[in-house]
Structure 1
Amino acid sequence: MKLRKAASFAIALTVVTGLLAGCSKGNSATNAGKEDKGNEGTQTEQASKDVKLTFFNTSAEVNTVFEELFKKYHEQNPQVTIELIPTPIGGAQLEKFQSLLASGNPATIVNLDAGTILQYKDDFLDLEPEKAKYEALTNPGAIDGALLDGQFLGIPWTAQGYGLLYNKRAVEEGIGGAFDPASVKTRDDLEAIFKKIEASGKAPVMLHGADWSLGAHYLGLTYSLQSQKVEDNRKFVEELKNGQVQLTENPQFTGLMDTFDLLKKYNARKSDPLVADYNRDSADFAKGAAAFYFMGDWSWAVIGTLEGRDADFGILPLPISNNPEDFGNAQVAYSEPKLFAIDDSKSTPEQQEAAKAFIEWMVSSEDGQKAIITDMGLSMPYKDLKAKSTNVMSNAVSEYVKQGKIINIGVINYLPQDYWAKTGAAMQKYLVGNIDRQGLAQEVQDYWKSYAGK
Structure 2
Amino acid sequence: MKRKVVSMLLVTSMLATLITGCGSTDTKDSADASTTDNSVSAGTETATVSEGGSDEVGTPFSDTVKISLMNSKPEITDALEAGAETFGKEYNVDIEIYETDSPGDTISQKYAAGDAPTIAILDLANVRDLAGDKILDLSNEKWCEVGGSTMGGIVDGKVYGMPLTVEGMCILYNKTAIEDLLGKEFVAEDYTTLDEFSALLDELKAAGMETPFVLNAEDWSIGQKGYQFIYDYQDGTEEGAMQFLNDVHDGKTTFEDNDVFNKVYDAFDLFIENNINKDDPLAADYDLNASYVAEGDAAFWLNGTWAWPDFEPYAVDGNEYDVMPFPINDQEGSQGKIVAGATKFAVVDAVDSSEEQQEAAKMFLNWLVFTDEGQDTLINQCGMVTAFTNISLEPNNPFNVGLKRYIDNGMTIDGANYMPSDHRSVLAANMQAYLDGKMTRQEIAEKLDEYWTTNTPVK
Shorter-chain TM range is 0.7 to 0.9
Q: Which residue of 2 aligns with 1:124?
A: 135
1:168 matched to 2:175? The reply is: yes
Write the distance in 2 (CA, Å) between the matches of 1:293 and 1:194: 13
Structure-to-structure mapping, 1:391-430, within 5 angstroms: 391-409=397-415, 411-412=416-417, 414-430=418-434
Aligned partners of 1:55 and 1:82 also within 8 Å: no
Write the distance in 1 (CA, Å) between the matches of 2:63 and 2:189: 58
Write the distance in 2 (CA, Å) between the matches of 1:429 and 1:77: 49
Residues 176, 278 of structure 1: CA spacing in aligned structure 2 closer, same or farther, 3 A cutoff?
same
Amino acid at match of 2:164: W
Q: Which has the larger radius of gyration?
A: 1
Residues 149, 193 of structure 1: CA spacing in aligned structure 2 closer, same or farther, 3 A cutoff?
farther
Residues 100, 428 of structure 1: CA spacing in aligned structure 2 closer, same or farther, 3 A cutoff?
closer
Write the distance in 2 (CA, Å) between the matches of 1:145 and 1:226: 24
Deviates more, 1:150-159 or 1:378-387: 378-387
CA displacement at 1:443 relative to structure 2: 1.8
Amino acid at match of 1:344: A
Residues 377, 65 of structure 1: CA spacing in aligned structure 2 closer, same or farther, 3 A cutoff?
same
Residues 145, 175 of structure 1: CA spacing in aligned structure 2 closer, same or farther, 3 A cutoff?
farther
Residues 300, 144 of structure 1: CA spacing in aligned structure 2 closer, same or farther, 3 A cutoff?
closer
Out of 237, 254, 258, the position equivalent to 2:266 is: 258
Identity of aligned residues (%): 28
- Name the SS for the 1:190 alignment partner: helix
Write the distance in 2 (CA, Å) between the matches of 1:453 and 1:353: 34
Residues 152, 168 of structure 1: CA spacing in aligned structure 2 closer, same or farther, 3 A cutoff?
same
Write the distance in 2 (CA, Å) between the matches of 1:69 and 1:303: 21
Aligned partners of 1:159 and 1:337 also within 8 Å: yes
1:300 matched to 2:308? The reply is: yes
Q: Which residue of 2 aligns with 1:38?
A: none
Q: Which residue of 1 aligns with 2:436?
A: 432
Q: Which residue of 2 aligns with 1:12?
A: 2
Residues 337, 357 of structure 1: CA spacing in aligned structure 2 closer, same or farther, 3 A cutoff?
same
Runs of 4+ in 1 over 6 A off after TM superposition: none
Aligned partners of 1:317 and 1:328 also within 8 Å: no
Out of 47, 56, 80, the position equivalent to 1:66 is: 80
Residues 146, 400 of structure 1: CA spacing in aligned structure 2 closer, same or farther, 3 A cutoff?
farther
Q: Deviations over 1:399-441 (max 9, x none)?
A: 11112211211x33x3222323432222222223222221221
Out of 225, 242, 249, the position equivalent to 2:233 is: 225
1:52 matched to 2:47? The reply is: no
Write the distance in 1 (CA, Å) between the matches of 2:225 and 2:381: 25
Aligned partners of 2:189 and 2:336 also within 8 Å: no
Write the distance in 1 (CA, Å) between the matches of 2:456 and 2:151: 28
Over aligned residues, Cα RMSD in angstroms?
A: 2.6
Higher relative contact order (CA 8 A, sep 6+): 2
1:328 matched to 2:334? The reply is: yes
1:143 matched to 2:143? The reply is: no
Q: Which residue of 1 aligns with 2:38?
A: none
Deviates more, 1:200-209 or 1:420-429: 420-429
Aligned partners of 2:234 and 2:334 also within 8 Å: no
Deviates more, 1:329-338 or 1:221-230: 221-230
Q: Which residue of 1 aligns with 2:111?
A: 101
CA displacement at 1:278 relative to structure 2: 0.6
Structure-to-structure mapping, 1:137-286, within 5 angstroms: 137-138=146-147, 143-144=150-151, 146-202=153-209, 203-286=211-294
Q: Which residue of 2 aligns with 1:360?
A: 366
Write the distance in 2 (CA, Å) between the matches of 1:145 and 1:221: 22
Aligned partners of 1:164 and 1:293 also within 8 Å: yes
- TM-score w.r.t. the length of structure 2 is 0.81
Write the distance in 2 (CA, Å) between the matches of 1:167 and 1:362: 32
Aligned partners of 2:152 and 2:161 also within 8 Å: no
Write the distance in 2 (CA, Å) between the matches of 1:14 and 1:245: 49
Aligned partners of 1:127 and 1:152 also within 8 Å: yes
CA displacement at 1:71 relative to structure 2: 1.8
Amino acid at match of 1:83: I
Name whichever structure is richer in helix by fraction: 1
Amino acid at match of 1:77: Y
Aligned partners of 2:172 and 2:324 also within 8 Å: yes
Aligned partners of 2:341 and 2:414 also within 8 Å: yes
Amino acid at match of 2:436: V
Residues 15, 74 of structure 1: CA spacing in aligned structure 2 closer, same or farther, 3 A cutoff?
closer
Amino acid at match of 1:230: E
Write the distance in 1 (CA, Å) between the matches of 2:5 and 2:354: 20
Any stretches of 5+ residues in structure 1 without a counterpart?
Answer: 1-10, 17-45
Aligned partners of 1:175 and 1:193 also within 8 Å: no
CA displacement at 1:144 relative to structure 2: 4.2
